[in-house]
């Protein structure tokens, strides 16, 4: 069959196996080029960067880019966890399944240890499985990346008496206090579309914090620490976003923002735990705004991003996931001699800021100017529609350079 993107309500519902694999390989090639450019030595070459890395949420976006940076720039052994739907010969899998398969294939070719688990990262059973695995390898983690992004989370310690199942929390993307409305981009028509989000109730706020806040990160680090599988100096990093003031009502001051603030509180708690136990540290890294499955349906975010991309590309400062994570590793985390862990530059809240280029005053001033002038008549000139649509499609393996999308796919499990 010839696979074309299936788009419903600004979401892509399917994936292209070859496109996903090629985009993962593109990111690997970028990191290899940066390794040569920066003169970074891998562990096998005598470098002192990360040696054994756990990536929770390893299959897409910042998690995948982090794993690629750790493995192909620093030569780290990696264990990845994500929950994916595997394909059959005739039925497609999730984009993350194909990304993981492409990563594993490339890592094996390079002689790197890469263990990938499709499992519920929120469960105690998965934590035990990962602890057993790293012990079996005879290694300890010196870096743990927390990049889980899920709309739901089951509570590993609480049972619903009515169902006998673990309590399930569902997150929502809503403002708090009052309705939020704003323009966004309709990906199918290249036009502006107004949408609104009703305010969240107290239960929705609490549930969103349970899903996307710091609870699960705490469980992971504390259980790994108690099991004795954290190396001396181990660091952990979780990812967040703050964004411009114009989006704060729906994001930073909304349900997601409350969860991210809880994540930041967890970073402070875990920092103390790691300092006392292994001389380590915990950070939240605030990253640049990028196209994700959720950002495409949040009022104003899609429009903001399309204008941001145009402004940053004109200035030569635009970055995607892989550029951000490579910079996080090389210019924030591993800045010591021979790429050893160095002193990490942080803001007043102990957060790493790799959204620095996005939040520059001149960038935001230009974005605000264009946001105020955009209309359906000038949208093609004001926005980077082509770039936004490319990123939207590429997350599912479409519109990737070098892929023949007219070619029949006879086996949905194949990456070639």
**Whether 74 contacts 47, CB under 8 Å:** yes
Gap between the Cα atoms of 396 and 413, Å rounded: 15
Q: Is 146 a catalytic residue?
A: no
- Mean pLDDT for back-to-back runs of 10 residues, the chain (416 residues): 90 95 98 98 96 97 97 98 96 97 97 96 97 97 96 93 91 94 88 92 97 97 98 98 93 95 98 98 96 75 95 97 98 97 96 98 97 95 94 96 95 95
pLDDT of amino acid 188: 86
Q: Catalytic: which of 30, 146, 239, 251? A: 251
Task: For the chain, list the domains and their CATH numbers.
Answer: 13-155+201-293+321-355 (3.40.50.720)
Extract the annotated binding site for NAD(+): 57-62, 83-84, 120-121, 148-149, 260, 290-292
**Whether 109 contacts 94, CB under 8 Å:** no
Instruction: Compute the half-sphere exposure of residue 115: CA atoms within 13 Å on the CB side of its CA.
Output: 15
Residue 382 tokens read as: 């004001």
């Amino acid at each position: 069959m010839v696979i074309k993107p299936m788009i419903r309500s600004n979401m892509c519902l399917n994936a292209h196996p070859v496109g996903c694999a090629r985009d993962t390989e593109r990111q690997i090639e970028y990191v290899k080029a940066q390794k040569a450019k920066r003169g970074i030595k891998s562990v096998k070459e005598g470098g002192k960067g990360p040696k054994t890395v756990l990536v929770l949420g390893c299959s897409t976006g910042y998690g995948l880019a982090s794993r690629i940076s750790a493995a192909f720039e620093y030569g780290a052994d990696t264990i990845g966890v994500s929950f994916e739907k595997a394909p059959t010969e005739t039925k497609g899998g999730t984009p993350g399944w194909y990304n993981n398969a492409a990563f594993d294939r490339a890592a094996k070719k390079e002689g790197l240890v890469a263990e990938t688990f499709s499992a519920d990262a929120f469960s105690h059973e998965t934590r035990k499985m990962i602890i057993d695995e790293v012990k079996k390898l005879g290694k300890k983690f010196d870096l743990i990346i927390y990049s889980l992004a899920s709309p739901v989370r089951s509570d590993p310690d609480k049972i619903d008496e009515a169902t006998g199942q673990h309590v399930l929390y569902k997150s929502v993307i809503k403002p708090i206090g009052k309705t939020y409305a704003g323009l966004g981009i309709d990906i199918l028509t290249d036009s502006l579309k107004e949408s609104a989000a009703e305010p969240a109730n107290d239960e929705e706020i609490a549930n969103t914090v349970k899903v996307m806040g710091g609870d699960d990160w705490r469980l992971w680090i504390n259980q790994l620490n108690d099991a004795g599988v954290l190396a001396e100096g181990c660091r952990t990093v979780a990812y967040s976003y703050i964004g411009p003031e114009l989006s704060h009502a729906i994001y930073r001051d909304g349900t997601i923002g409350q969860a991210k603030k809880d994540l930041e509180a967890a970073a402070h708690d875990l920092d103390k735990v790691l300092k006392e136990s292994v001389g380590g540290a915990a950070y939240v890294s605030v990253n640049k705004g990028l196209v994700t499955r959720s950002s495409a349906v949040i009022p104003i975010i899609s429009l903001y991003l399309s204008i941001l991309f145009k402004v940053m590309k004109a200035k030569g400062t635009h970055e995607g996931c892989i550029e951000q994570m490579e910079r996080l590793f090389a210019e924030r985390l591993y800045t010591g001699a021979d790429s050893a862990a160095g002193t990490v530059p942080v803001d007043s809240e102990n957060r790493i800021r790799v959204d620095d280029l996005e939040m520059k005053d001149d960038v935001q001033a230009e974005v605000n100017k264009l946001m105020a002038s955009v209309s359906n008549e000038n949208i093609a000139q004001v926005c980077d529609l082509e770039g936004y649509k490319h990123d939207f499609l590429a997350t599912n393996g479409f519109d990737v350079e070098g892929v023949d999308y007219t070619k029949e796919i006879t086996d949905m499990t194949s990456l070639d």
